[in-house]
Structure 1
């Protein structure tokens, strides 16, 4: 949620409405959605190339290290799916349009803030690695956050202006004044604290003639929050003669905030104020408006969800979710972040939102390539309990086997109807899906991606899903993907194993063999991406397609209880690296040149390339003409090496995974990062 203009208004009066805190030795409830957006947009990360997830993961890691140093115990609460009532749909669509415009601005060299597609998943993986307690609410998390913070009597960290309305016992700390990078020492001790500001609801109400704080929810819905957009409210506002203010956009927003608060301060409570609002409206609208305003005001009351039970006992109970009759395992996996809100939206609303990336706006939506994967997801979700199935058919009675997708169309949004793949319910019943054998779940996943399991025999477990995604992607890019795109992706996938190798104690010999040198060289290549360099839109679009395939394959894998271990996304894709590699591979650099310094990495790359080559269209390997004879010779040399690589027998090479020192590190990395994966 959010109230237009309120956050900037209270920040303009920070000396009056905020108190300084030295935050330490406390629990802290963190709005996860607000945090990962804040860290993405305020840390100087490159956003044009689809996400530097390694850099983002490092920043998240440093953030929580600051909290730990100050003896702050974080509890992260993430938003879940859309509200069942769908009353926020118009706001969701408005924000989707805004995101499209920002993505377009970024694609043509302008500014903008668009979270890379897998940011949320990377954020969750870092939380798991750091053992930070977190929960994913069934829908919007604000009320759950407020209720938990009041139960534990601790502050909330967010950037959502709704926390200025909630009656929080210990207050709300805005993220933009939370100085986690500036950890200080308590004078005369060895204890640390983080300087922060805390919003004082008492000071805020006192500023407006000691206004009754119970009036604030009515203020929020009249001012305009994410849940209510009533044209008749404008009629009321035109009749109460709010004080005049500035004519600029910020001034107009503040004019409404200031005027409404001043007007409401004259009333003893919300009932009296609401009566005066209704008297300004036509009689025919009053009952309907009264009901709508009342329902919206309830969004600021205590939640029935007791998150303390989840954090203390692992049990998550949501009355709204229970009424839907969702399978118990689905509710549990949603709460633990092991299923995406995408899944709950599809399951409950039969509608999903496909988030826009920084892509070529002149071409069809990059998510089109992954639609067949989503159709299988939808097919699995259709095989739900009769209660949920009947409810969903009431939502789309004429399309019982269809789902709607909100997606980008040029520079706007549209809703497309997508049919689900029909799957036999006796074999793929949603209630019993986790009980299917590992072999059957692997088979369904690989059949969806159109990959033979034998193709992945020589691929380390942690990279099986990403490589299978590459195979699917190569079969669906309609000839737009080129050899250097595939090479760049596979080289980027080496970063995880190389990072594990160079940071493993007792592996100094391996580091001397070139792993550290190669890792540093790839980091150097990554840094060569210049901020002012014009974005190659076709390359960006191709990698956006790959990320969409990876995201949807990941969601399908999670729905199937991860038949292959979940990949470490934090070191799997770095947009700046793969874009820069593309530039170098089109020039004088070859894969052979890059990998010559590390035999283990060269062997791993060979297996990744061999697994994908048979799924690539023949034109991928056609030679490119070069004007420079030196480049021709270099290309020929590189192509010859790749030919030898492609011809390597899997029978003679597969042994490396068990005996090669690099393969051993992959297994260690798997044990560290895939605690939720099923290893049967």
Structure 2
């Protein structure tokens, strides 16, 4: 949610409304979505090139290390699907349109804030690896966070202005004043703390002549939030006579907020104040306004938490919204555990998908067009599976489904970028016969075949590479054959080199501070350092190659949708660590290097593991799409002479027209991931 203009108003009067605290030795409820937005956008990380997930993961780890250093136990709560009542739909569409415009601005070298596509998945995987307790709600998390915090008497860390309204026993820490990267140390002690500003409703209301805090929800609804923005309130503001103090505010919104708070402070409670609001509006027929005000106030009413039991034994109480009670228990549990995306709830409950924009070429079709066939299979599994569940239950719901031939149950309304606008379109969901209620019990070969058939690859592709890279390689094969415009060879090579670089980073991260393989590989370290220098620098970020960006945005869309389909099918292919699969600044820079005189062989020169992994990845792709996949485009370039070094690299096996020779001992080569490299020990 969010109360319009309230954050600026409160933060502009921090002396009156905040208290300085040195936070330590406590439990903290964290708004997970606010956290990953905040960490990404305040850390100077890349947005134009599709994101640097490895660097983002590092910031996430640093954040939780800071909490641990101060003995602060985090509990993270993530948003789920779109509100099933659709009260916020207009707001969501407006935000999506705004992000389209920001993405376009970023693509042209201007400013904007667009979160890279896989950020949420990286964040959840990092939480799991750090063993940070977290839950993903089935709907919006604000009220659930507030209820859990009150039940446990904990403070909340977020950047949502609705938490200035909730009556929280433990109060609220805004992210903007939570100095986690600037730890303090107590005198004569080694104990550390996080300097922070603390907000409490009691302190806030005391400033307004000890106003009744039950008036704050009415204030939020009158001013307007993401759920309610009543036109009648414009009439109210034009007629009401606010106290003189409001006229010192810096803007119209600030004046309204200050004036309304002082005005409401005169009333003993919300009913009396609401009567006065209706009297100011004058005339009859305001019963609907009263109902809307009352309904909006209910959004801030706190009750017993539905989430507390989850953090005790992993289960969630059955207090679900009616449209979700029909969903299979295994599916709901996977959603709560973050092993399924909120998109699943949006499809099942609303038959709707809002696809996040990327920094791409706005003159071309949305990068999500390429992954449409993958989404259609996902939609079919969900919608036909839900239909069978309803039919099996019988009763009125079952009869209604049996009698429906309209097709609405088997299509999804997608909202996606078209030019610089947000457009909705109906996408048909093809019939899928696997049972949704028992999808987790379907034999593995059946689930794997559906996934591989959707991606258009055979099972041997995944067997040619390390298991955790099988899904990204299958996605890459799909991307090459569906992407528009078609990628060229340097784009593929750069993408595969990025995966190799990610693997080297993963090995170093897993073995840091130990005597494991990365520590024992001086040669591998040299390759890692060599590749690590090849990122787009901050001063170069405005020179975006839109053609390259659009191609890689399509790859990320394919990866994300295949990742989701794999999760829904209960991971017939191992789930990859998204952190290490794509670095935008690395991959874009690598395309430039390969268009010049660099070759994959030269960049990976050293111990056998990096070059062999690259060869395996490329060999798997050639096996699927054909080693002559890039041959037509190569013929077109015969009139121009290629640099001799590039020709030599092609003859060595990096070229488009050659299939790499089969290599022996594929399984044994993967032991390099966990065993020491004798060649490196001799260096």
Same fold by TM-score greater than 0.5:
yes
Match of 1:144 in 2: 144
Q: Verify the 8 A CA contact 1:102 1:111 in the aligned structure 2.
A: yes
Q: Deviations over 1:105-133 (max 9, x none)?
A: 11100111111001000000110010000
Q: Verify the 8 A CA contact 2:518 2:525 in the aligned structure 1.
A: no
Q: Verify the 8 A CA contact 1:244 1:255 in the aligned structure 2.
A: no
User: Aligned equivalents of 2:51 and 2:136: distance in 1?
Assistant: 23
- Cα gap change, 1:563/1:283 in structure 2, threshold over 3 Å: closer, same or farther? farther
User: Aligned equivalents of 2:106 and 2:247: distance in 1?
Assistant: 29
Match of 1:633 in 2: 644
Q: Pick which of 250-259 and 308-317 moved more.
A: 250-259
- Cα gap change, 1:171/1:643 in structure 2, threshold over 3 Å: closer, same or farther? closer
Match of 1:648 in 2: 660
1:586 aligns with 2:595: yes
**C-alpha displacement at 1:244, in angstroms?**
8.0
User: Aligned equivalents of 1:318 and 1:209: distance in 2?
Assistant: 42
Q: Verify the 8 A CA contact 1:138 1:318 in the aligned structure 2.
A: no
- Cα gap change, 1:487/1:643 in structure 2, threshold over 3 Å: closer, same or farther? closer
Residue among 567, 589, 607 paired with 1:558: 567
Match of 2:679 in 1: none
Q: Pick which of 530-539 and 291-300 moved more.
A: 530-539
1:171 aligns with 2:171: yes
Give runs of aligned pairs for residues 191-230 of structure 1, distance below 5 A. Answer: 191-230=191-230
Q: How many residues align?
A: 660
**C-alpha displacement at 1:276, in angstroms?**
1.9
Match of 1:260 in 2: 260
Match of 1:102 in 2: 102
Match of 2:681 in 1: none
Match of 2:376 in 1: 375
**C-alpha displacement at 1:533, in angstroms?**
4.0
Q: Verify the 8 A CA contact 1:656 1:663 in the aligned structure 2.
A: no
**C-alpha displacement at 1:305, in angstroms?**
3.8
Match of 1:231 in 2: 231
- Cα gap change, 1:285/1:554 in structure 2, threshold over 3 Å: closer, same or farther? farther
Q: Verify the 8 A CA contact 1:102 1:113 in the aligned structure 2.
A: yes
User: Aligned equivalents of 2:497 and 2:337: distance in 1?
Assistant: 32
SS in 2 for 1:226: coil
- Cα gap change, 1:431/1:241 in structure 2, threshold over 3 Å: closer, same or farther? same
1:499 aligns with 2:500: no
Residue among 657, 662, 666 paired with 2:672: 662
Q: Deviations over 1:130-159 (max 9, x none)?
A: 000000111111111111111111111000
SS in 1 for 2:446: helix
**C-alpha displacement at 1:308, in angstroms?**
1.6
Q: Deviations over 1:588-626 (max 9, x none)?
A: 111111112231111111111111124448562443749
Q: Verify the 8 A CA contact 1:4 1:223 in the aligned structure 2.
A: yes
Q: Deviations over 1:485-544 (max 9, x none)?
A: 111111111133212444533346885462111111111002546445411011111111
Q: Deviations over 1:469-500 (max 9, x none)?
A: 00110110134211111111111111332124
Give runs of aligned pairs for residues 257-656 of structure 1, distance below 5 A. Answer: 257-281=257-281, 285-321=285-321, 324=324, 325-382=326-383, 383-384=385-386, 390=397, 399-424=408-433, 428-503=434-509, 504=511, 505-507=514-516, 511-512=520-521, 514-526=523-535, 528=537, 530-616=539-625, 618=628, 620-621=630-631, 622-623=633-634, 625=637, 632-642=643-653, 647-650=659-662, 652-653=663-664, 655-656=665-666
User: Aligned equivalents of 2:323 and 2:101: distance in 1?
Assistant: 38
User: Aligned equivalents of 2:373 and 2:407: distance in 1?
Assistant: 22
Give runs of aligned pairs for residues 61-140 of structure 1, distance below 5 A. Answer: 61-140=61-140
Q: Pick which of 127-136 and 593-602 moved more.
A: 593-602
Q: Pick which of 279-288 and 24-33 moved more.
A: 279-288
SS in 2 for 1:491: helix
Match of 1:157 in 2: 157
Q: Verify the 8 A CA contact 1:497 1:665 in the aligned structure 2.
A: no
**C-alpha displacement at 1:245, in angstroms?**
9.3
Structure 2, unpaired ranges of 5+: 392-396, 677-683
SS in 2 for 1:75: strand
- Cα gap change, 1:145/1:502 in structure 2, threshold over 3 Å: closer, same or farther? closer
SS in 1 for 2:308: helix
User: Aligned equivalents of 2:195 and 2:638: distance in 1?
Assistant: 58
- Cα gap change, 1:369/1:532 in structure 2, threshold over 3 Å: closer, same or farther? closer
Q: Deviations over 1:390-445 (max 9, x none)?
A: 59979996622111011111111011100001112xxx110010001111111111
Match of 1:678 in 2: none
**C-alpha displacement at 1:230, in angstroms?**
2.0
Match of 1:671 in 2: none
Match of 1:675 in 2: none
User: Aligned equivalents of 1:605 and 1:299: distance in 2?
Assistant: 53
Q: Verify the 8 A CA contact 1:2 1:162 in the aligned structure 2.
A: yes
**C-alpha displacement at 1:657, in angstroms?**
2.8
Match of 1:51 in 2: 51
Q: Verify the 8 A CA contact 2:159 2:174 in the aligned structure 1.
A: yes
- Cα gap change, 1:265/1:502 in structure 2, threshold over 3 Å: closer, same or farther? closer
Match of 2:13 in 1: 13
SS in 1 for 2:20: strand
Q: Deviations over 1:231-273 (max 9, x none)?
A: 2221222221346899999612211211211221111111111
Provide the TM-score with structure 1 as the length reference. 0.92
User: Aligned equivalents of 1:581 and 1:14: distance in 2?
Assistant: 47
**C-alpha displacement at 1:39, in angstroms?**
0.3
RMSD: 2.5
Q: Pick which of 584-593 and 289-298 moved more.
A: 289-298
Q: Verify the 8 A CA contact 2:493 2:600 in the aligned structure 1.
A: yes
Q: Deviations over 1:150-194 (max 9, x none)?
A: 111111100000000000111100101100001111211111110
- Cα gap change, 1:21/1:388 in structure 2, threshold over 3 Å: closer, same or farther? farther
Q: Verify the 8 A CA contact 1:304 1:318 in the aligned structure 2.
A: no
Q: Verify the 8 A CA contact 1:495 1:519 in the aligned structure 2.
A: yes
**C-alpha displacement at 1:579, in angstroms?**
0.4
SS in 1 for 2:533: helix
Q: Verify the 8 A CA contact 2:23 2:193 in the aligned structure 1.
A: yes
SS in 1 for 2:417: strand
User: Aligned equivalents of 2:592 and 2:245: distance in 1?
Assistant: 53
Q: Deviations over 1:291-318 (max 9, x none)?
A: 2221211110114543221101111125
Q: Pick which of 582-591 and 532-541 moved more.
A: 532-541
**C-alpha displacement at 1:35, in angstroms?**
0.5
User: Aligned equivalents of 1:321 and 1:517: distance in 2?
Assistant: 55
SS in 2 for 1:228: coil
